[in-house]
Amino acid sequence: MEVNFEYVNPFDEKYDYLMRIEHLARYYFASDILQRCHKVLDVACADGYGTKILSQSIVNVFGVDRNEKYLNVAKTKFNANNIKYECVDLNLDTINGSYDGIVCFETLEHLKNPDAVLKNLYDILDSNGIMILSIPNSKYEIIENGQNKDPFHLQVFTYDGIVDKLQSLGFYINNVYGQSYINKIVNKEIEDYKITDVINDARTIAYPNKDDIDKTYSYIFILSKKN
pLDDT tens digits, the chain, 227 residues: what are they?
A: 345 677 889 999 999 999 999 999 999 999 999 999 999 999 999 999 999 999 999 999 999 999 999 999 999 999 999 999 999 999 999 999 999 999 999 999 888 899 999 999 999 999 999 999 999 998 876 677 767 766 667 787 899 999 999 999 999 999 999 999 999 998 899 988 899 999 999 999 999 999 999 999 999 999 999 87
The domains located in the chain, with CATH, are 17-225 (3.40.50.150)
CA angle 197, 202, 203 (to 5 degrees): 105
Q: Which of 145, 144, 178 minimizes the C-alpha distance to 159?
A: 178
CA 135/CA 112 separation, integer angstroms = 15
CA 17/CA 22 separation, integer angstroms = 9
Task: Please give the biggest Cα pair distance in the chain.
Answer: 49
What is the value of pTM for the model shown? 0.94
> Is residue 170 within 8 Å of 226, Cβ to Cβ?
yes
Half-sphere exposure of 169 (CA within 13 A, CB side): 23
